[in-house]
């Protein structure tokens, strides 16, 4: 049913607030005990953020020796609206463990509309990558997998950001910008110019190389600059993406967007601060913590190599597991086949929020999304916290 809002003027409208409160109270008092499953708002929320989706793999493209692009179509045909830079969360059962992993959607929003809608994720795999290894070995065309979408706050916003975008990417951090490049090339980000500075170690680490070159060769508004740090014979730009290079490709008032590793983030942040770029012009994706937590500032080095016991309370159930000082509490839970719902995996989204009953943790300085009240009452995020002693924690039941 369409609703109408009458604007009567500031004073009359604000004086109406007490009446609204009365109205709300009477609605609450007369509300049925059971939730209205046919409620419009509830249905809309479910369309925009479905809790569980089942996807079918409809194609797998070998983009390079180490990269595969999985094209996914939801079994019910509905793809919620998303923005370039947002991610989907895959839910995978590996052995006894249920793992959740975020993957940036590498296809463009316009490809999720029309007659043959789909989403894609680009997965990079090198030896020892646990989840990519599983995806590469396990999934074939026709298989199904579970997940949900969309999540994340890393996207270009026309009211806030400039139409001149300098994207700085490292490794698999190229995926949000690939999605954006497709959207620009399709003419849907009107007036936007996208320059991508893409850092990789070696040429065979470059993801979506041909696809990006295809886009930049057909669209004047897209420029891609490859920068390799570890290949002396590379004919293009070599070294790290620093102040000089960022300056060379910047334009007045441009917006900088970054997606890459923890180490690269520090480097880029320094370069931007040397260039005196105000924080409002810099946006970054979730920064993953380094694989070696001991390099994070403030980490007590004497804890390295230790093992601790974690008592895990889930409702009436209590388990005891072991955790190494070098793994997050979330990883220790997953290894012990105790399900924990994670999305961003770096303290930003709050999905894994749990309770620290006793013990001491180290919280990543780039992934500390705790509210002040959490800090006082023991709320913490297992995805961005490492044990520093034996712990007792309470986690939500999944």
Task: Name the site residues for ligand FES (rule: CB under 6 A).
Answer: 342-345, 347-352, 369, 381, 383
Q: Which of 241, 230, 229, 228 is nearest to 270 (CA)?
A: 241
CB of 351 to ligand FES, least distance (A): 5
- CB count in 10 Å sphere of residue 288: 19
Select 82 or 178, whichever has its Cβ closest to ligand FES. Answer: 82
Select 70 or 380, whichever has its Cβ closest to ligand FES. Answer: 380
Joined tokens for residue 78: 């509905």
Select 255 or 342, whichever has its Cβ closest to ligand FES. Answer: 342
CB of 261 to ligand FES, least distance (A): 18
CB of 383 to ligand FES, least distance (A): 3
Q: Do 88 and 119 touch, CB atoms closer than 8 A?
A: yes
Select 195 or 342, whichever has its Cβ closest to ligand FES. Answer: 342
Q: Do 134 and 239 touch, CB atoms closer than 8 A?
A: no
CB of 346 to ligand FES, least distance (A): 7
Select 238 or 394, whichever has its Cβ closest to ligand FES. Answer: 394
CB of 377 to ligand FES, least distance (A): 16
CB of 16 to ligand FES, least distance (A): 39
- Strands (DSSP E) contained in the chain are 53-64, 67-74, 87-94, 97-104, 119-124, 144-151, 164-170, 193-200, 222-228, 237-238, 255-259, 282-284, 307-314, 317-324, 354-358, 361-363, 379-380, 385-387, 391-394
Select 105 or 207, whichever has its Cβ closest to ligand FES. Answer: 105
Q: How far is CA 250 from CA 37, 217, 229, 272, 385, in A?
A: 51, 20, 21, 11, 36
Q: How far is CA 155 from CA 109, 186, 258, in A?
A: 12, 17, 10
């Amino acid at each position: 049913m369409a609703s109408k809002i009458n604007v009567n003027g500031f004073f009359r409208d604000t004086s109406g607030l007490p009446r609204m409160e009365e109205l709300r109270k009477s609605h609450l008092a007369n509300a049925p005990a059971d939730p209205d499953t046919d409620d419009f708002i509830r249905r809309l929320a479910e369309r925009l953020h479905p809790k569980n989706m089942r996807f079918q793999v409809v194609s797998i493209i070998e983009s390079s020796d180490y990269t595969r692009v999985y094209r996914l179509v939801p079994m019910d045909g509905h793809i919620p609206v998303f923005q370039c830079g947002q991610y989907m969360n895959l839910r995978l059962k590996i052995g006894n463990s249920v793992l959740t992993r975020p993957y940036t959607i590498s296809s463009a929003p316009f490809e999720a509309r029309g007659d043959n809608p789909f989403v894609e994720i680009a997965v990079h795999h090198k030896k020892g990558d646990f989840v990519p290894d599983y995806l590469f070995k396990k999934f074939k065309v026709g298989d199904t997998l579970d997940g949900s979408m969309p999540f994340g706050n890393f996207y270009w916003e026309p009211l806030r950001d400039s139409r001149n975008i300098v994207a700085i990417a490292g490794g698999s951090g190229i995926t949000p910008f690939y999605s954006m490049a497709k959207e620009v090339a399709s003419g849907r980000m009107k007036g936007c110019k996208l320059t991508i500075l893409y850092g990789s170690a070696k040429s065979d680490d470059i993801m979506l190389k041909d696809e990006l070159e295809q886009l930049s060769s057909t669209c004047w508004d897209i420029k891609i600059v490859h920068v390799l740090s570890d290949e002396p014979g590379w004919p293009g730009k070599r070294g790290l993406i620093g102040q000089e290079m960022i300056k060379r490709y910047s334009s007045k008032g441009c917006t900088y967007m970054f997606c890459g590793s923890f180490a690269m983030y520090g480097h880029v942040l320094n370069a931007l601060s040397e260039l005196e770029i105000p924080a409002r012009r810099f946006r970054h994706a979730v920064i993953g913590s380094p694989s070696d937590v001991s390099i994070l500032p403030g980490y007590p080095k004497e804890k390295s190599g230790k093992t601790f016991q974690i008592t895990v309370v889930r409702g009436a159930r209590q388990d005891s597991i072991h955790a190494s000082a070098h793994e997050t509490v979330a990883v220790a839970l997953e290894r012990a086949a105790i399900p924990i719902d994670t999305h961003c995996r770096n303290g930003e989204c709050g999905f894994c929020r749990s309770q620290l009953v006793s013990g001491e943790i180290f919280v990543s300085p780039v992934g500390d999304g705790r509210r002040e009240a959490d800090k006082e009452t023991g709320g913490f995020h297992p995805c961005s916290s490492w044990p520093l002693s034996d712990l007792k924690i309470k986690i939500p039941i999944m």
